[in-house]
Amino acid sequence: MLVAQGRLDVEGALTARDRVGIQDFVLLDETTEVAVISNLKKRFSKDLIYTYIGTLIVSVNPYKDLDIYSKKQMDVYMGVNFFELPPHIYALADNAYHTMLTEFNNHFILISGESGAGKTEASKKILQYYAVSCPSTTLMNTVRDKMLMSNPVLEAFGNAKTLKNDNSSRFGKYMDIQFDSQGDAVGGHILNYLLEKSRVVHQNHGERNFHVFYQLVEGGSDDLLTQLGLERDVQHYYYLTQGECAIVSSINDKNDWKSVKNALQVIEFDETNTNHLFRVVASVLHLGNVHFDPDSKGHALLKNNTELNWVSDLLGVDANSLKEGLTFRKIEAKTEQVLSPFTIDHAIYVRDALAKAIYGQTFTWLVNRINESMENKLCTKNTEIFALFVVSFEQFCINYCNEKLQQLFIQLTLKAEQEEYEAEGIEWEPVQFFNNKIICDLVEEKHRGIISILDEECLRPGDATDLTFLERLEEKMGNHPHFLVCQSKNTIVRECFSAVDTTNKRRPETVATQFKNSLQKLTEMLMAKEAWYIRCLKSNESKQPGQFDEALIRHQVKYLGLMEHLRVRRAGFAYRRKYEDFLKRYKPLCPATWPHWRGIPADGVELLVQHLGYLPDEYKMGRTKIFIRHPRTLYATEDAYEKCKHDLGDASKRNFHFMSSATKIETCWRGAQARKEKEKRAWAVKVIKKFIKAYINRGEAKSTDNSEYLAFVRQSYLNRLKNNLPKTVLDKTTWLTPPAVLTEASEILRKLHYRLMVRKYVRGIPPQKKAQLQMKVVTSAIFKGKKESYPPSIAQPFLDTRIRISVSNLSDGIIVIHITCEDPKQKGDLIIQCDHLYEFLTKLSIIANKQDAIKVVQGSIKLEIQSGKESAVDFTTGQEAMVYKAKNGHLMVVSKNK
C-alpha cells in the first residue's frame, strides 16, 4: 500500500524497482512499448495505479476502491516535493497548487483518456484534495461545496450509461477554481462543451439516455409524477427504451434522484426553478411519445393529442402552434406564406430536433446557474486561477481533440525542457518526435472532410441529402413564428430561447465549427497556463478489478501518445538533480566527499562523478543541477550506494566504539550547525523586517529606520544609472527617473554628465573644425540678428582660400585683396592704395590672427578682375611714383627710386 511505503524519494524508489516496477517511466532503461506496459502491469498487480512520466501521471483504472484517498493519505502529500513520495494524484494536485502560489501564475490540469478510464473520478479526487488541503474560510467552503455538490446535478443531466461506462460523461467539461493570493478559493466556474444531444432521442443497444430521465421516473414522488403527467414506468417512454436496458442493476436511479434533489438545494435552486426544470425533463419524455400516422397523401398527422397537450402544458406554449410546427413547414413566398405539410420522416425529425434543442439549452442554462452560484462574490481581486480540465466523452476525445491536445502537450513539454536547459546553461539538443501538427492542420483546413464527421447531426442515419434538408430546416425554423418556444410560460424554456435571434436568417454555425472554435479558444487559453497532465487508462473492458488487458492497454498507450511523451521527457537527459541533493545521497561513494564536503556542491559532485568513472558524454553540469543522460548510469550509482551502505554497516559493527564517539562528535557538530543556521535565520528575519519598515518610510527624511534602505536605493539607482547613461550630447531624453531621495542629486549628476559629454565632444573636434567654429562664433557676435542673410550662411563653411592679401616688395603702398567669388558678374579682386600699409596690414592680421595671409611678391601680382578673367599688377621703380594702365592691359605701379 502506498501509505505503508512512507516517505520515499525518487532515488529511494530505485531500490524498490524490481519489486514494484519503476515509479517514473523516465527512469526506465529501455523505452520500448513492451517495457512500458510490463512496468504498468507489475505496478497494477500491486495496486499501484499511478506512475509518472516526469511530472505527468499515468493512472490505470483499478475498478475497485483502494485505500489511498483517505484524509491521512492527503496529509502525507501536503506540501511535499513531487518526487519525495510515491506517485499519486495528490502529489500533482499539491504541486500545482503550491507552484501557483509561489510563482503567481495560472495552471491547468489536463485529464484525458477514453470513456471509463477514470477521468471524472480523477477530477473528483483532485477537488476533494483541495477541499481538505486548502486553507479554510467560510467563503471557500461554500465554493468548494458547490463545486463538489453540483456534480450529482451535472452528472444526472450530462452523464449516461454507455457500453464502456455506466456513468459516462457525455459532454466535455472544463472547471476552474479561482484562488486569491493567500491560496483561498474565492470562486469557481464550469464550462461545458458539446453535450451529446443526439442521445436525448436515440440510444444504441446497451446504452441509456441521460440519467435524469430515469431518476425522475423512478425516484420522483407520486404527486410530482401526477403533476407532470408521467407514469412510473421507464418502459413506457420511447426516448428511454431504444437501448433496451432502461433498468440496470449497477445503477440505483431512485437513490441517485435523492442526491440530485439535495444538490439542487446546495446550488441554490428554489422551488419554482426546480419545478420548471422537472417540467422540461418531463416535456421531453412526452415529446418522445408524440407519434404520427400518414394521411391519404402520406403527410404526417398526429396520432392523438394527449402527449402534445402535456408538452404544451409543461412548457407553457400554445398547443395548436406546437402541433402546426410539428407537422407543417412554413414557406415564405414573395407575397404570402404557404404551409407545406411534412412527411412522417420529416415530422419525426422536427420532433426530435425540438427535444434535443430543449434539452440542450436547458443543460447550458443549468451550467450557467451553477456558475452563478459559484461566482467570485468577493470584490477583492482574485489573483490566480487554477484550472481543472476534463476532456470527456469519447467522441470529443478521439481524433481531432486528442491530436490537438497532444500537439499542445508536446509544445509545452518541449518548451519547459528547453527553458530548464537554458536556465541551467546546458546546450539544447534537438529532439526527434512526431509532430502531429500536420494532422491538426488537415482536420482544421478541410472543413468538409474530417471535421464534419464530428457534426453530431451528420451522424444520424440517412443519406447526404439529410444534411441539406437540416440546414434548410434550420433556416426556415428560424422565422417560423409558431415554433418559437420563446413565448413559453416555463421560465427556463423562455430564458433559454429568448436569447435566440429569431430574425437572423444566417445559417447557424454547424456543430463541427462550434467544436473547432471552442477547441481553438481552449488551446489558446491553455497555452497561457502552466500544464499538468493526467493520462487515464482503462485496465479492461469488463470493468473488473484485478484484470489487466494488455492489448487494451497497448492500444491506449498508443492512442494517448504515451511513448511520445516519454521520448520528449527523455530527450537529452533522463535524470536531473540539484547538486546539494545529489551530493547528500551519494557522498559516501567518494573519499573526497565523505563524510563532509565543505566546498561548493557542484565541485563536490564533479569530484564524485569522476571518482565513479562517469564518461564525459554521460552527464552535464548545469548551473544548479547535474544532468544524467541514461538511467543505467544512475542505477549503477544507486547499486554502488546500496553496497556502500551495507559495507558501512559492517564496518560500524566492528568499530562500534570508534563510531559511537564519531557519532557523538557528529551530533555535537550537527547541533552547532543547527544553532548557526537558527542564528542565520533570525538575522535574516531581522534584516527583512528592517527592510520592509524602511521601505514603508522611504519617502521620509533620513532616519535610523530608513538610512540603510536609502543607501541601498541610492546604490542601486547609481548602479542602474551607470549602465543607462545618455550616449550623445544631443540625447536629452535618456535619464533614469530618480527615487524621491535622489531627485536633487540626480539633477546635479545629469548636468555634470552633460558638461562632461560636451567637454569630450569639444576635445574631439579637429583643429581646423575648431577654428571654423571659433570664426563662426565671432561671425555670430557681429551679425546674428542684425543681417537678414545671416541664418542661411551658418551652415556654409568658411574657406581659407577665399581671402588672400598680396603686396609688392616695393614702397608703392598698394594692397591687393583677392576675393574668390562664384558669380561671374561680380567684381573681382580689390586694389587699394594706403599710406599706412604696415600699420593697416599688421592690425588686420592681428585681428584675423593670420600672419601668413599676407603675401609679399616681387614683380607682379596676379589679379582676377572678374570671375575667370585674369590680369596683373606689375611693380617697378622709377624717377616718379605713378600708376597707369600699361599697353598689355596690366596695371603698372611705379615707385620712386630711393
Ligand X SMILES: Nc1ncnc2c1ncn2[C@@H]1O[C@H](COP(=O)(O)OP(=O)(O)OP(=O)(O)O)[C@@H](O)[C@H]1O
119-127, 696-704, 804-812, 832-840 -> range binding ligand X (CB under 6 A): 119-127
Q: Least distance from C-beta 199 to ligand X, angstroms?
A: 12
Question: What is the C-alpha separation between 717 and 742, in angstroms, rounded?
Answer: 9
Task: Between 167 and 523, name the residue whose CB sits nearer to ligand X.
Answer: 167
Phi, psi of 530 (to 5 degrees): -80, 135
What DSSP string describes 468-522?
A: HHHHHHHHHHHT-GGG-GGG-SSHHHHHHHHTS-TT--SPPPPHHHHHHHHHHHH
Q: How many chain residues are in contact with ligand X, going by CB under 6 A?
A: 20
Q: Which region, judged by CB under 6 A, interacts with ligand X, from 30-38, 56-64, 348-356, 604-612?
A: 56-64
Least distance from ligand X to the Cβ atom of residue 123, Å = 8
**Residue tagged 413565448 (cell numbers):** 487
Among positions 51, 73, 168, 362, the unique one binding ligand X when judged by CB under 6 A: 168
CB 328, CB 339: distance < 8 Å: yes
Q: With respect to ligand X, which residue has the nearer C-beta, 62 or 738?
A: 62
- Mind spelling out the 3-state secondary structure of 88-146? CHHHHHHHHHHHHHHHCCCEEEEEEECCCCCHHHHHHHHHHHHHHHCCCCHHHHHHHHH
Q: Which of 39, 120, 361, 593 binds ligand X (CB under 6 A)?
A: 120
Tell me the β-bridge partners of 830: 817
Q: Is 220 annotated as a binding residue?
A: no
- The nearest distance, CB 155 to ligand X, in angstroms, is 9
**Nearest distance in Å: CB 127, ligand X:** 13
Closest CA to 59 of 97, 109, 18: 109
Q: Tell whether residue 118 is among the known ligand binding residues.
A: yes
* Distance set, CA 136 to CA 142, 144, 186 (Å): 10, 10, 11
User: From the list 21, 54, 116, 152, which residue makes contact with ligand X (rule: CB under 6 A)?
Assistant: 116
Nearer to ligand X, 62 or 604 (CB): 62
The x, y and z cell numbers of residue 267, run together, are: 446550488
> Which DSSP category does 532 fall into?
E
Is residue 196 within 8 A of residue 176, CB to CB? The reply is no
Please, which residue, 88 or 529, has the CB nearer to ligand X? 88
Can you give the C-alpha Rg of the chain in angstroms?
46
Binding flag, residue 167, ligand X (CB under 6 A): yes
Sheet containing 854-857: give its strands across.
Answer: 830-833, 814-819, 803-808, 854-857
Distance CA 64, CA 48 (A): 12
Query: What DSSP element (H or E) covers 619?
Result: strand 619-621
Interaction between residue 62 and ligand X (CB under 6 A): yes
Which H, E and C letters describe 635-703, residue by residue?
HHHHHHHHHHHHHHHHHHHHCHHHHHHHHHHHHHHHHHHHHHHHHHHHHHHHHHHHHHHHHHCCCCCCC
Cβ count near 879 (within 10 Å): 8
What cell does 454 get?
464530428
With CB under 6 A as the contact rule, which of the stretches 165-173, 474-482, 600-608, 696-704 interacts with ligand X? Answer: 165-173
45 vs 181, which CB is nearer to ligand X?
45
Stretch that binds ligand X, among 57-65, 349-357, 566-574, 733-741 (CB under 6 A): 57-65
What's at 576, amino acid-wise? R
Output the smallest distance, CB 87 to ligand X, in A.
13
Write down the least CB distance from residue 168 to ligand X, Å: 3
**Minimal distance in Å, beta carbon 121 to ligand X?**
3
Check: CB of residue 761 under 8 Å from CB of residue 727. no
Looking at 59-67, 367-375, 548-556, 796-804, which segment touches ligand X (CB under 6 A)? Answer: 59-67
Residue at grid coordinates 491560496: 183
Kindly tell me the sign of the dihedral angle through the C-alpha atoms of 26, 29, 32, 38. negative
Minimum distance from CB of 483 to ligand X (Å)?
33
Residue placing its CB nearer to ligand X in the complex, 201 or 536 = 536
How many helices and strands, by DSSP H and E, does the chain display? 35, 24
Q: Least distance in Å: CB of 406 to ligand X?
A: 17
Contact pick of 23, 39, 55, 61 for ligand X (by CB under 6 A):
61
Nearest distance from C-beta of residue 61 to ligand X, angstroms: 5
For the bound state, the minimum distance from the C-beta of residue 202 to ligand X, rounded and expressed in Å, comes to: 18
Residue from 73, 133, 151, 169 touching ligand X (CB under 6 A): that is 169
Burial classification of residue 887, based on how many CB atoms lie within 10 Å of its CB (0-12 exposed, 13-18 middle, 19 or more buried): exposed
Pick the binder of ligand X from 63, 238, 428, 735 (CB under 6 A): 63
Residue 335: exposure state from Cβ atoms within 10 A (0-12, 13-18, ≥19): exposed
> CB of 197: closest distance to ligand X in angstroms?
16
Binding mask 693-732 for ligand X (x = CB under 6 A): ----------------------------------------
Which residue from 73, 133, 150, 165 is in contact with ligand X, where contact means CB under 6 A? 165
Q: Is 188 annotated as a binding residue?
A: no
Instruction: Compute how many other C-beta atoms are within 10 angstroms of the C-beta atom of residue 388.
Output: 25
Name the segment binding ligand X (CB under 6 A); options: 12-20, 114-122, 305-313, 692-700: 114-122
- Residue 629: partners with Cβ closer than 8 Å, 6 or more residues away: 572, 573, 574, 617, 618, 619, 620
Distance CA 23, CA 49 (A): 10
74 forms part of the interface with ligand X (CB under 6 A): no
CB of residue 176 to ligand X, shortest distance in Å: 18
CB atoms within 10 A of CB 426: 18
SS3 content of the chain, % helix, strand, coil (to 5): 55, 15, 30
Region 359-418 residues binding ligand X, contact defined as CB under 6 A = 392-393
Shortest CA distance to 68 belongs to which of 146, 1, 21, 119? 1
- 165 vs 808, which CB is nearer to ligand X? 165
Q: Does 150 bind ligand X (CB under 6 A)?
A: no
Sheet strands side by side (includes 172-179): 50-53, 56-60, 530-537, 107-113, 384-390, 172-179, 185-193
**Options 109-117, 238-246, 362-370, 811-819: segment touching ligand X (CB under 6 A):** 109-117
Would you call 504 exposed, middle or buried from its count of C-beta atoms within 10 A (0-12, 13-18, 19+)?
Answer: exposed
Stretch that binds ligand X, among 117-125, 206-214, 302-310, 423-431 (CB under 6 A): 117-125
> Of residues 4, 18, 19, 65, which one binds ligand X by CB under 6 A?
65
CB of 159 to ligand X, least distance (A): 7
Ligand-binding site membership of 316 (annotated): no
Is 116 annotated as ligand-binding?
yes
Q: What are phi and psi of 302, to 5 degrees?
A: -65, 135
| Comparison of 122 and 281: residue with beta carbon closer to ligand X | 122
Any binding-site annotation on 115? yes
Residue list 535-554, contact with ligand X (CB under 6 A): 536
Q: Which stretch binds ligand X (CB under 6 A): 113-121, 474-482, 649-657, 766-774?
A: 113-121
Binding of ligand X by 808 (CB under 6 A): no
Q: Which of 29, 33, 84, 121 binds ligand X (CB under 6 A)?
A: 121
**Contacting range for ligand X; rule: CB under 6 A; set: 62-70, 96-104, 126-134, 369-377:** 62-70
Residue 172 in contact with ligand X, rule: CB under 6 A? no
Nearer to ligand X, 127 or 496 (CB): 127
Instruction: Tell me if 115 contacts ligand X by CB under 6 A.
Output: yes
Residues between 518 and 537 with contacts to ligand X, criterion CB under 6 A: 536
Binding-site members for ATP are 113-120
**Site residues (CB under 6 A) for ligand X?**
61-63, 65-66, 113, 115-121, 165, 167-169, 392-393, 536
